[in-house]
Amino acid sequence: MRSEDQVTPTTVLGELIRYSQAQPDHSPSFCHLKLDDDLYPGFYDKTARILASFEKYRSVTYDIQRPPKGGTGIVIRYSSTTISHGEERYIAMGFKSSDEFEKDEDLLSKIKAQIYEVENDLGPHLDRYYLLLCTDDRKHGDSVRTIHAGLMEDTTVVVVEPRYAWLFYALEETTIDAVLDKLLYSDDYVRRQAKEQIAGIGKRRLILLLSCLVHAIEEMKNFSVADEFVIYNDHLHDFEASHPGSYVPLLEDMGGMEGHFFFRDADVEGFRIYRDSVSAIVALYYDAKVRYGHEGDAAVQYLFTFLERSA
């Protein structure tokens, strides 16, 4: 594998930030978060999860340095025999809170000074400097654009604008795990088969199928699901609330999957699931259960995140 094709913690972090770009804007939620009380611990925990998840796939040594109060951000040091010939590499993350945007009229100059200090300390071992602007994009839009323009020439710096910074801050652990899995095992046979098994069915049918499947495995033990579970499916209702649109009646979607994923059985007041139609997805479920401990709602969310772009 060429070094530029390697999946590294830097690659994963960059992909998770890009993943956030497809989600709705909730950046105003940043307005009530404080730098030391909320942002540092929140992003620290998120970063720790990424490294811990990465370690489940690749041997890696790492630590995350959290600065004392008033510091400039988080610095991640990592090394692996399979990355950069075993040399230590660094990722830096700086945060700017809504309070700082309110109080500091010369924020860009201070940001540049902080970035210069980190780049000077770490030199060529620094992979990326992620600057997360944790404020309301609508309220401080001009300042955000000024900062973005002022740092464009530094190719090591990635400016993460408020809506993307918020969505990274709010990422679920299951999303981190699924995105990392896709990066590291994009050519894995079982994972390719799982994507083929649900190819083109649509996201609403996918969440319906996955929620029924996990329920059937964990609760029913016989790959069956009752009509009541289908009708009062919380995962489906949550999906529709977060993905507004014009949907066909639920039973019509179930009918569209009968004969391929589901079938009626005289011994069951509901549906059974064709095991062969979901065999690879079941394998992914058990992999996530062993690797991460994902079960129930978390397993559904993990599988949905992994498979949604193929649906």
Mean of all residue pLDDT scores within the chain: 88
E strand map for 16-65: 61-65
Phi, psi of 135 (to 5 degrees): -150, -175
Per-residue model confidence as pLDDT tens digits over 10-65: 989 988 887 765 555 555 678 788 888 888 899 999 999 999 989 988 889 999 98
Per-residue model confidence as pLDDT tens digits over 98-114: 888 988 778 999 999 99
Residue 4: pLDDT band (50, 70, 90) is: very low
Residue 269: pLDDT band (50, 70, 90) is: confident
**Residue 198 in contact with residue 260, Cβ under 8 Å?**
no
Per-residue model confidence as pLDDT tens digits over 203-251: 999 999 999 999 999 998 889 998 889 889 999 989 988 888 888 888 8
**Residue 179 in contact with residue 19, Cβ under 8 Å?**
yes
**Residue 274 in contact with residue 263, Cβ under 8 Å?**
yes
Q: Are strands 262-264 and 73-79 parallel, antiparallel or unpaired?
A: unpaired
Least confident of 219-223, 285-289, 291-295: 219-223
Residue 1: pLDDT band (50, 70, 90) is: very low
Contacts of 300 (CB under 8 A, 6+ apart): 207, 210, 211, 214, 235
Maximum Cα–Cα distance across the chain = 72
pTM given for the model:
0.81
Share of the chain above pLDDT 70, in %: 94
Instruction: Give the model's pLDDT for residue 205.
Output: 94
Instruction: Give the model's pLDDT for residue 33.
Output: 84
**Residue 177 in contact with residue 298, Cβ under 8 Å?**
no
Residue 2 has pLDDT above 50, yes or no: no
**Residue 112 in contact with residue 151, Cβ under 8 Å?**
yes
If one compares 32 and 277, the residue with the highest pLDDT of the two is 277
The Cα–Cα gap between 39 and 134 comes to: 8
Angle of helix 279-292 relative to helix 189-197, nearest 10 degrees, comes to 130
Least confident of 20-34, 123-137, 284-298: 20-34
Least confident of 20-24, 182-186, 276-280: 20-24
Secondary structure class of 81 (helix, strand, coil): coil
Domain ranges of the chain: 3-171, 187-310
Summarize the confidence of residues 134-152 as an average pLDDT.
91
* CA quadruple 8, 9, 12, 13: dihedral, nearest 10: -140
The size of the chain, in residues, is 311
Instruction: Give the model's pLDDT for residue 103.
Output: 86
Per-residue model confidence as pLDDT tens digits over 145-182: 999 999 999 999 999 988 888 888 988 899 999 988 98
Instruction: Give the model's pLDDT for residue 289.
Output: 94
